[in-house]
Amino acid sequence: MGGGALETNCLTNGETESSLHRQFSPAPAALDNSLSDANDAVADHDVPAKRARLQKELTFQDMYQNEGVFDEDDEDDSDWEPFQLHKCVEFEIKKWCCRNCTMINLDCNDCCYICGEHRESKILSHGFFASPLAQDDDLIEVQGDVKRLKDVGSQKPVPNSSTAIGFDERMLLHAEVDKKSPPHPERPDRLQAIAASLSRAGIFPGKCYAIPAREITPEELITVHSLEHIESVEVTTESLSSYFTPDTYANQHSALAARLAAGLCADLASAIVSGRAKNGFALVRPPGHHAGVRQAMGFCLHNNAAVAALAAQAAGARKVLILDWDVHHGNGTQEIFEHNKSVLYISLHRHEDGKFYPGTGAAEEIGSMGAEGYCVNIPWSRGGVGDNDYNFAFQHVVLPIASEFNPDFTIVSAGFDAARGDPLGCCDITPSGYAHMTHMLNTLSGGKLLVILEGGYNLRSISSSATAVIKVLLGESPGCELENSFPSKAGLLTVLEVLKIQMKFWLSLGPIFVNLESQWRMYCFQKKRKQIKKRRRLVVPMWWRWGRKSSFFYFMNGHLHKKSKSLC
């Protein structure tokens, strides 16, 4: 998840999800002082000088908040005419928000300057099948995709169908009451775009079947969250609008939406473990992996993945794997299970030495109180991470550890905000990349796999990625193998760091670390040899030292020495 009233196209530091809705106000003392100084300036004969001094003392913020301070009537305004005001209004800059990525654009542009989506895009009705550049007049619009899903929970399971979907339209009621520009990235449109895509692809309704929705009970929630947390979410039903953190909103319907999301995840987990469904996809919101034992944060109210893990264990699963590929670290999930050896938590996320939200998830965070090694963090050191790095981490860290753990049930906290085009994640995973990761995880737990929607704020990216994942759950091939699946240098170093820490707890990682480290040393050695050869090419012949051109040699040698350093 990520967040907030964005002023740029991505968030890359610790202010990411908590930078919403900042409001500034001048200090009362500063305001009083500025007003009193302004009154003195009016009475003084040297008004211009004092006014200049006053403007110098005040900050720009104070000046903005107190526009009338400098409106003294010391100038002749008899030539002012009302039509001048109308001329100013004509130059007001008009803007519009992109339906796809929520970024603000100037009215003169028809396509978003960030994602390229047309301002009249029909992505909410056509899903990712909608053209990003036109209004899709050639497509027959699917009317009421969400409305068609209202009664889908009551349908009988489709014969030979193995994939269950968890969805309820009441989760769309969870929305920010105070509409801002740009709108909050965690918005109902996210589910609508995915639903439209699945409907157009004939996947749901069609090839998948829905389970009836129910609300999670307080008795089930208390196994994950504290009583104070549960009550704090429920009390939001009494207010039209409220906030847990500056970026985590609630309205009077949010508690219901959170209970439905958690209830659907719990029932999907039970159905898969018991064999009533082979696998499933929880099309739910609000998301959950930032919600900890005692706090709601990062757009999350209840931790859906944690609820599903405990429901799976109640249904008979002894060991549960939670794989979190959301671009943000699931600090809430880690907190809930950091002392639990029956739940293995693995997270791949942007970290950047704690500068990326929420700041947790360093490789050194491995679990505690006897559960060391059952928390595995793969913290990317930069943005722009794509398919190759994720595939490399899966092959060398995720799958070896997961195979050694041998889970009975696998949960994916599937945030799609690491997808290409996401305004918060700023990474580069493609739908094909997500499909391949799902295919690899499908080999674990006998195929008992539950994918739970977390973040993802580019509608085109989230709908195409979710559709690709569900196709794999239905048994379709993920497509061709990823080409040139060599990691970046930063990705390789991150994997080596994780292997060095985790191989103390997982025996299968030792040989992998030795092999990769030797390859890395060989690479560094060869690179150093190439640099030395470049330097030798610049060395002047030795006999110049004692010849008639010795002074020229020393001049050239110093010059070339500096040049060789710059090439290193």
Give catalytic residue positions.
Answer: 290
What would the DSSP string read from start to end of 453-466? Answer: E-----HHHHHHHH
Cβ-count burial 96-114 (b if 16+ within 10 Å, e if not): bbbbbbbbebeeeeebbeb
Count Cβ atoms below 10 Å from residue 219 Cβ, excluding itself.
Answer: 7
Neighbouring residues of 506: CB distance < 8 A, sequence distance ≥ 6:
373, 400, 401, 404
Beta bridge partners of 427: 420
Is residue 242 helix, strand or coil? strand
Contact 368, 459 (CB under 8 A): no
* Alpha-carbon gap, residue 277 to 161, rounded angstroms: 8
Nearest to 382 by CA among 355, 352, 408: 352
302 Cβ neighbours under 8 A, 6+ residues apart: 216, 221, 224, 225, 233, 258, 259, 261, 262, 286, 288, 291
DSSP state of 117: -
**DSSP class of 447:** G
CA 33/CA 49 separation, integer angstroms? 18
Among 289, 298, 304, CA closest to 335: 289
Please name the amino acid found at residue 62.
D
Burial 149-186 (b: 16+ CB within 10 A, else e): beebbeeeeeeeebbbbbbbbebbebbbeeeeebbbbb
Which of these, 495, 511, 327, lies nearest to 427 by C-alpha position? 327
Using DSSP's 3-state secondary structure scheme, residue 157 falls into coil
Strand residues in 33-143 grouped as ranges (E): 95-97, 104-106
d(CA 336, CA 24) in angstroms, rounded, equals: 36
Quick one: which of 463, 384, 388, 522 has its CA closest to 189? 463
Distance between CA atoms of residues 454 and 1, nearest Å: 7
Question: What is the maximum span of the chain, computed from C-alpha positions, in angstroms?
Answer: 99
Q: Which residues of 473-484 are buried (b: 16+ CB within 10 A; e: fewer)?
A: bbeeebeeebee
